[in-house]
Amino acid sequence: MALNARQIVGDEVRLTSNWQFLRRSWNFLFEVTLICLVFLVSLRMYTPWLVAKFNPYDLGIASYNTIRIGSGYVPYVDLYLMYGPGGYFLRALLFAIFGASIATMQVEFMILCAACVTIGY
């Protein structure tokens, strides 16, 4: 018999699970729930800000270059980009899936901002 084991007395229930594993899984579940809660709260925080901060200049340049990249243009060779190409490629993928619209870009921006807040947490 192991050193930390004890005799079962009467109606005691013998648990076959490891309590340490159960404690770790509850901690993991709590952390995942907390991270999801932070993500949802930050997503809710950015919703009114996006409606009030509509910038047609930046959105116009970003949407036009995104459509051009989706059409096959090569960044920095065929067109001028003021920002890094990662966002344009992501938006080109989202435009191919959901259609080219400013709403798609705003939802993408809102989700990326909430993800950055969550990662920062």
3-state secondary structure of 76: coil
- Looking at residue 41, what is its pLDDT? 85
pLDDT, tens digit (0-9, with 9 covering 90-100), for 81-105:
888 889 899 999 999 999 988 888 8
Cβ partners under 8 Å of residue 96, min gap 6:
70
Cβ partners under 8 Å of residue 93, min gap 6:
none
Q: What are the boundaries of each domain within the chain? A: 19-120
pTM of the model: 0.63
3-state secondary structure of 97: helix
- Looking at residue 45, what is its pLDDT? 78
pLDDT, tens digit (0-9, with 9 covering 90-100), for 33-84:
888 888 888 877 777 666 656 677 778 888 899 999 999 999 889 988 888 8
- Looking at residue 94, what is its pLDDT? 94
Taking residues 5-31, what's their average pLDDT?
63
pLDDT of residue 24 exceeding 70, the answer is no
CB atoms < 10 A from the CB of 17, how many?
8
- Looking at residue 93, what is its pLDDT? 94
Provide the token pair at 18: 């490891």
Cα(113)–Cα(119) distance, integer angstroms: 10
Cα(67)–Cα(91) distance, integer angstroms: 9
CA-based radius of gyration for the chain: 25
